[in-house]
Copies of this chain bind each other. A is one copy, B any other.
Amino acid sequence: MFRTHTCGELRLSNSGQQTTLSGWVQRTRKMGGMTFVDIRDRYGITQLVFNQDVNANLWEQANRLGREYVIQVTGTVAERSSKNVNMETGDVEILVSQLQVLNESLTPPFTIEENTDGGDDIRMKYRYLDLRRTNVRENLELRHRITFETRRYLDQMNFLEVETPILIGSTPEGARDFVVPSRMNPGEFYALPQSPQLFKQLLMVSGFDRYFQIAKCFRDEDLRADRQPEFTQIDCEMSFVDQEDVLNLFEGMMKHLFKFVKDIDFAEAFPRMTWHEAMRLYGSDKPDIRFGMEFVELKKEVSGHDFVVFDSVPYVAGICATGCAAYTRKQLDELTDFVKKPQIGAKGLVYIRCEADGTFKSSVDKFYSNNDLKIIAAKFNAKQGDLILILAGAKIKTQKALCELRLEVGARLGLRDKNIFKPLWVIDFPLFEWDEETQRYYATHHPFTSPNLDDVPLLDSNPGDVRATAYDMVINGVELGGGSIRIHDSKLQNRMFELLGFTPEKAQAQFGFLMSAFKYGAPPHGGLAFGLDRLVSLFAGLDTIRDCMAFPKNNSGRDIMIDAPSVIDQSQLDELNLVVNIKPAK
């Protein structure tokens, strides 16, 4: 037996007991004839004591231990003279009588501490050492707890977890598929699923009623900072439900997770906001409502004052930064530089300071009298000491820029506390998005999303105004999940395909088996999917999903620890009837 206790469980009440521990050497301190060794495992750290006077031989062995050696010790639990209140085991230490080195260790290339000296690349190459760090391990413990509680809740709600296949067929629509050549079917390829969407809808046709799966999904995209080629969804679908049923059930799931994982109770219902309202007030379909600072539209108020910047654009709007009137020139310049960054793209920033004496000071004093500014300030309910920030331009672009500015100011004001969680349902998404380039409508979600049945008459006359029965769960400005009620009526589905520019042949080629299935009694159904990686990173207070995955890939889709992908043997290629033909980059 390698241990009687873990390194995290001994307490004062164990004093006098014999114990055997196994773990890693966190650090050693030699103080005269006493050597202290911290032994670490997943459960904690315990202090070991070696006394030269008691056993000189053992003490010498202890002095030779290196960082990250794997050791096994036996000894007696004793009360510490100087207790460490920061450690759960800090009241005790082990007077060691036996020591065995189970394995030696090279010196790790970075320190195994919460604040390590290792950079990103070296930590990824030695991910197995990085995972020893308490904070990284805790993220994965949190991930386990979240998936476990998700399953517990959904099981209670009569959901069945069903595994859908990973080797499926390729659908050219949407993001790129990863494909898998089939040796047994020469020249043919499987694809890895971007989501189990079609299969979960088939399971509804099969009468499974309530399905979920914590499912690996794959997208061969050029990876932005926070994307991974493989990611995990909590994928759910229900039959005989309307939007209200779905929202209630998954609001319940999120409350369950907050309660059992974070010990946070949400007594109230999550607020709901239409997509139009979210865009109008926050310029975003995933508003961070931990703080207010809603947009105020000013086009009417600012027009006709010979200020060509405001007169020449369709959209002028601003936000009010509480208590920021005292911002320095430098701070205002920083904000101006921020909105002028290429990825934000505003031309400039107009400010109005609401001074302590009731007057106003703005960057556009030339065009607006103090009374004009007072009228504007009144629209914000601005008080003395507040700062109004205004952007102008094309509507959607400016809304997006103002959204970024709002988040930036909110962050500067400390209004985006990672320990505060503000959930929100965003509903009534538009069913279609118009694409200028290809001059056609695309499905905002996917082609199976049902229109709001009240809006069906608009499908022909004004498709852009049709609301989808689609919904997103947003927490703290992060879109955690979304879904929709699906179309179960073949006629309506065919009409959707038509509007989306699918010929019947193309629709048949891509979704034929689903459309065939729907002919055999498809129930009304709907569902949603949560991004597990984002959910864990939100709960962990992380800015990236990478540190809540055990073995993430880098921005080139590469696992640098195992050096994958890599070239394969010619014999493998031959068996797959494939020739690699690398074309020079254009």
Contacts and interface: CB of A to CB of B under 8 A. Distances in A.
Contacts of A576: 179
Interface string A148-192: 100100010000111111111110100011111111111111111
A382 interface: no
Interface string A247-282: 000000000000000000000000000000000000
Interface in A40-74: 40-43, 68-70
A568 B22 contact: no
A131 interface: yes
A412 interface: no
Given A144-B160, A161-B144, A562 B513 contact: yes
B183 A569 contact: no
Nearest to A182: B565
Interface stretch (A104-112, A364-372, A452-460): A104-112
A241 B295 CA distance: 60
A162 B550 contact: yes
B220 A564 contact: no
A129 to B, nearest CB: 6
A128 B517 CA distance: 7
Interface in A519-562: 519-524, 549-551, 553, 556-559, 561-562
Residue with the highest number of chain B CB atoms closer than 10 Å, among A148, A163, A223, A523:
A163
A1 B248 CA distance: 13
Contact of A102 (B176, B177, B488): B488
A430 B279 CA distance: 68
B577 A578 contact: no
B220 A183 contact: yes
A565 B183 contact: no
A583 B579 CA distance: 11
A566 interface: yes
A71 to B, nearest CB: 9
Interface stretch (A198-206, A300-308, A325-333, A389-397): A198-206
B181 A179 contact: yes
A207 B6 CA distance: 12
10 contacts: A1-B242, A140-B160, A147-B161, A165-B551, A166-B218, A178-B180, A184-B220, A187-B582, A513-B561, A579-B580
Nearest to A552: B165
Contact of A185 (B147, B557, B562): B557
Interface residues of A, number: 126
Nearest to A172: B569
A272 to B, nearest CB: 19
A465 interface: no
A189 B520 contact: no
Contacts of A126: 520
Contact of A207 (B40, B218, B230): B40
A437 interface: no
Given A168-B562, A558-B185, A106 B523 contact: no
A579 B582 contact: no
Given A172-B569, A581-B578, A167 B178 contact: yes
Contacts of A577: 580-583
A169 B582 contact: no
A241 B2 CA distance: 6
B521 A170 contact: no
B155 A148 contact: yes
A182 B223 CA distance: 13
B165 A230 contact: yes
A566 B567 CA distance: 24
Contact of A3 (B161, B240, B517, B580): B240
Nearest to A578: B578
A142 to B, nearest CB: 10
A36 interface: no
A88 interface: no
A24 interface: yes
Contact of A565 (B188, B521, B557): B188
Interface in A18-52: 22-24, 40-43
Interface string A215-252: 01010101100000110100000011110010000000
A572 interface: yes
A314 B2 CA distance: 45
B70 A522 contact: yes
A246 to B, nearest CB: 12
A191 B189 CA distance: 14
A563 B216 contact: no
